[in-house]
Structure 1
């Protein structure tokens, strides 16, 4: 039986990997401007890390985690998100005393057992950011601003920043009880999922995507109307800072995020091009998570976004120079030319140029077709006449211009291309 990839995963093939690499390169360009450095984390962790951090009543922990026993009998989970792993690394490596706020970003695969559909895979790639050590609203706004700058640098125009406040432990317990009381008045109108879990996690009714729950949520009390004074002041400062730098946003009182560890500021960036599941990225403040995982009290703010969704949204130019095409394709005719092509390819690569060549000694016509398929900038032709004269033929594949040059002149003749970012 032919073995195929497992349902819910995807091969990222060489002819499209450049899109992922471009997004990653923009992250490496934008995030350090705000003081963020990369951290690399294991893809599996002790299961307890996620059940304690994400929350036992979340869909992720209840239904979606890939969990198994290893040969030593320990319960292991493929990471469904990145924040918990960053916090674990922060505590385990005692990263407590940076000169300022500790700022880190990560990239890599995450795993959730979801029903595969457009925009949702069981193995998916995320970019995430965490800032650790400041309770103030400036960090919140800097990170939300950084997200918008990052997405606009990628060419996304039709995007919107939505914000909300989830309050704190001072106001949320009372609000949860009020919310449960109001939800019970409409219990017969909820979807099955919300009916089963509203007692444990009533906030999830607010952002349920089922139409019937959305109708109920419109009439429910709003958390931003029940904030404690400190949370209300924090949220007012967030809005004031966003206004001061001209960053457009809207307040979405139904935005609660899917993870239990968030408090105060929560946000999402949405796109109308994604339909009902329109969030590109989301995040917020989580001031108690480090302490809950037995670290020192450390206020934090972060976000994550999915690369697959970004790739589907970015208006890539398929002829862009971001794609990795060879600088030179070498056409060689005859055994002597084959040996010379080997030596010249080595010399050009040593000078930093990318080189492809024919390995099968095909006809001139066939080799030129291959050069076109590779979309090389130049084709270098080496035949018996060129070997005798010491002059090789260099063809510019864009203009069609041909010129003779010696091996010593090749590098100067082949200038680096300008990068077309879109």
Structure 2
């Protein structure tokens, strides 16, 4: 669908009058105008707020969502009218033909690079018909100018590779970035989501090992809905992929341990099950459960040790599953952490508090009944990374809980909230 958008401009005679009265320089006038100049666009049929903002790469930041809801007088789950134009949390400045920094009156080079990348991604995705250099219309996402603590503006620590051809072991040291030759294209996310711009480096020098439960010969728990079979491994995988994309976009070194060559991030409700998943570096997943778990933990421990020797101590394991109870049992997201590990407990508690806050704001009186406690699970016991948590997303057999899984926006919300909890814990 073609997106319609327009830019609200202040009349030129008003600008001239203002200039004469208070003697602003042209750059000052520009700076005072563009922050109030919101881009407007029409949604697609069926879009709600999060759908719409996700398309414009804006849904990762609560401040963007809050602003959109406030200026358009909608809620996060409001269905949007395709015949209406909505103000987006994107400010539009007239590009001066020189630099982004001089156009906006900013000094931070990294911030300018992020804004440039945002505009390039919007052009490539068909959200804008022309490049900002051509039409002089520079899009500035709201989170870049008004959100508190959006970015760690310092450049990431550079790691120099040795040798002409990276071996499998060297590749492992760089996580997902070692598989894409340093580009921002990650095929694991699928064609639609493979381009993942670097938003900031707030998670630089932090390593994450993400495990989606089961996979390969083991589909995990199963439920049924509207004549479709829901398999645990597919839904856990999709949420984990979405979390991975968020971590990478904020500068983390991350490893997706269980991998599917062709699924990517999927937006459909019913995710087709397959058995072609592997473990990092194309290791075939064994049939025996204990062997499967040991295969994953052995690899994680090997890479964890390499990072520790290189001085990287902030390393975290996050394992994501979908629980199975009786069909009439509703459960909220709950968390386990490694017994005896204060760092793991702190992370699990932060995730729990983040989810509780989100649930309370959305559900009100219904509340949140998730839990957090230690548990002697294999991954939590047999790994050496300083932090390890295990998450259960829902009861795959319960009709109400299934909505948390089959609605793509809910899967994205789960990933968003996990990411937000991780960031809070990292501060």
TM-score by length of 1: 0.25
Higher RCO (CA < 8 A, seq sep 6+): 1
TM-score by length of 2: 0.25
Instruction: Choose 1 or 2 for highest CA Rg.
Output: 1
